[in-house]
Amino acid sequence: MAVEDNRLNLIQSRIRDFPDFPQKGIIFRDICPILKDPAALSAVTSLFEEHVRAQFQQVDLVVGLDARGFLFGPLLAQRLGVGFVLVRKKGKLPGATVSVAYNLEYGKAEAEIQEDAVAPGQKVILIDDLLATGGTLYAACSLMNQQRAEVLGCLVVVELKELNGADKIKPHPVYSLLKY
């Protein structure tokens, strides 16, 4: 437990707060310093890997959300020995895609996945940097449901508890390294 606490302390020490960004009243939690620090990045990846291995007997794919899920997802997938799949903003993927519309705090958006990226019955873990209102993760879960994949859980580095995003994606469990 002390080792885990040390890793969490390291990760937390690398999160920078930017008040009033992108608008007044919001504190932006910047994860970029984690990416510059190999020990902090390794701590994130190790904690995610340990959680997944302890909780799930089989994982077939790690699914990363555009764009910061692309940073952590491939590292976790490599450690788990599984593939990595992208959920992108609409219009960014070639070939046949499946999409879903969703609401953001500040408007609407669409997410999509390549039609053949996930096979029915595959067990997937979703990963992103931040859980706020849950709109993006909810959309990704919806895409996985359309593909008839089994969402085992969602992983995030930071969860903003007061926005209740985890409630939106129930019954899928959320594992957050840090909660604000």
Please give the model's pTM, rounded to 2 decimal places: 0.95
Mean pLDDT value of segment 20-34: 94
Mean pLDDT value of segment 41-65: 98
Known catalytic residues?
A: 68, 105
Per-residue pLDDT of 33-51, as tens digits, reads: 999 999 999 999 999 999 9
Residue 175 belongs to a domain with what CATH number? 3.40.50.2020
pLDDT at 31 over 80: yes
For residue 68, report the phi and psi dihedrals to the nearest 5 degrees.
-80, -20
Cα gap 76→69, rounded to integer Å: 10
Residue 110 structure tokens: 């669409």
Question: What is the number of domains present in the chain?
Answer: 1
Cα gap 96→98, rounded to integer Å: 7
Which residue segment(s) compose the domain that 169 sits in? 2-179
pLDDT averaged over the chain?
Answer: 95
8 Å CB contact between 155 and 127: yes
Per-residue pLDDT of 114-162, as tens digits, reads: 999 999 999 999 999 999 999 999 999 999 999 999 999 999 999 999 9
pLDDT at 70 over 90: yes
Q: Is the peptide bond before 67 cis (omega within 30 degrees of 0)?
A: yes
